[in-house]
A and B are shown apart, each in its own frame.
Chain A
């Protein structure tokens, strides 16, 4: 029973390029969350999605960042025109349902380095 999968595990981009991060939730999970961890800090919520819907994007930067969770395929976090400050670990989590007490299971993360 595979857990949450993320790829790539490491991504290097030059300033101005685009970064695409993928997340496949646990089997049967239809709720996906993205978090960002800056160096030496805790995780910060970015966005919560269900299939084909964005439920809460209150933590997403207003520009350059977007997320989707299509009917088929993984969830994608897209960062356009990356800057050095985007360097961080990006974690995806999934849950079975929408109840607040549902456990969020985390993937191994994608570590983005912007040169």
Chain B
């Protein structure tokens, strides 16, 4: 079955440190890929998405992600973490023949400490 896997349900970094959140997908055909952020008791906000073209995608709040077909990955990075980045992050894929159905990973909760 097609799926999205996020390695690490909890990630903790120091303020100013690199943020790396991992996402892998399983699909024979490269899907469209998305990263969403969810703050407590709120809905999901789109950070960035990859559809076609450039494999390095820049999003809001200084985040970026790189699509690597050979590794079936779409890891999210930010060079310098800020306290306001503390939230839950979801990787999602739109898979072939999926009728616009987003397949979500289980999420990674990011903690940022001083």
How many interface residues does B have (CB within 8 Å)? 24
Not counting A35-B102, A48-B101, a sample of 19 additional A-B residue pairs whose C-beta atoms are within 8 angstroms of each other reads A4-B43, A31-B100, A33-B100, A33-B101, A41-B106, A41-B107, A42-B105, A42-B106, A43-B92, A48-B100, A91-B43, A93-B102, A100-B98, A100-B100, A101-B51, A101-B52, A104-B100, A106-B36, A108-B42
Cβ contact of B90, chosen from A43, A48, A55, A98, cutoff 8 A: A43
Q: CB distance A91 to B44 under 8 Å? A: yes
Interface residues of B in 81-114 (CB under 8 A from A): 90, 92, 94, 98-107
- Contacting residues, chain A, for B51 (C-beta < 8 A): 101
CA distance A101 to B51 in the complex (A): 6
Residue A87, interface by CB 8 Å? no
19 A–B contacts, CB within 8 A, in A order? A4-B43, A33-B102, A35-B102, A41-B106, A42-B104, A42-B107, A44-B104, A45-B102, A48-B100, A56-B100, A56-B101, A59-B101, A91-B44, A95-B100, A101-B32, A102-B100, A103-B46, A103-B49, A109-B43
Residue in A91, A100, A107, A111 with the greatest tally of chain B CB atoms within 10 Å: A100
- Contacting residues, chain A, for B43 (C-beta < 8 A): 4, 91, 106-109
Shortest Cβ distance from residue B105 to the other chain A in the assembled complex, whole angstroms: 6
**CB closest chain-A residue, reference B108:** A42
Residue B55, interface by CB 8 Å? no
The verdict on A43 contacting B104 (CB below 8 Å), with A105-B46, A106-B36, A108-B42 known, is yes
Residue B12, interface by CB 8 Å? no
Shortest Cβ distance from residue B76 to the other chain A in the assembled complex, whole angstroms: 15
- Contacting residues, chain B, for A105 (C-beta < 8 A): 46
**CB closest chain-A residue, reference B51:** A101
The verdict on A106 contacting B45 (CB below 8 Å), with A41-B106, A42-B90 known, is yes
